[in-house]
Structure 1
Amino acid sequence: MTKKLSIRDIAGELNISKTTVSLILNGKAKENRISDVLIERVVNHVERRDYKPNQLAKSLSTGKTMIIGLMVEKISDYFFAQVAYHIEELAYQNGYKIIYCSTDNDAHKTRELINLFRERHVDGYIITPPAGIEQDIQALIDDGLPVVLFDRYFEEVNSSYVILDNYKASFDAVMYLINSGHENIAFVELDSDQSQMLDRRKGYLDALAVKGLKPLLLKIPFSSTMDQKAARLVNFIRNNNQPEAIFFATNYLAFSGIKALNQLNLNIPGDVAIVAFDDHQVFDIYAPTITAVAQPISELASQSIRILLDMLDPKKNAQFPQKIVVQSAFIVRDSTKK
Structure 2
Amino acid sequence: MDETRRNFDILMEELLPRREYRDICVLVRSNGHAQLVCDWLVEKGIPVITENSLQLDRHPIVRQMVSLLKFLDYPQDDLAFLEFICGQEIFGKISNIEHETLFKWLAERDKGPLYRRFAEKYPDFWATHISPFLRKSGLMTPYDLASEMVSRFGLIETYPQDELYIRRFLEVVHLAEEKRGTSLAAFLDFWELSSAEEKVPLPESVNAVRIMTIHKSKGLEFPVIVVPFHNWSVSGPDTSLADIEIDGQTMLTPMSSALGDIYYENRTRMFSEQLNLLYVAWTRAGQELYGFLPSEKTRGVSPALAAIELILEDKFNDLGLLEYGITPEKGLEKSTLDISGASTKPSCDDFCTTETDLYPRI
TM-score by length of 1: 0.23
| TM-score calculated relative to the size of structure 2 | 0.22
Structure of greater relative contact order (alpha carbons < 8 Å, 6+ residues apart): 2
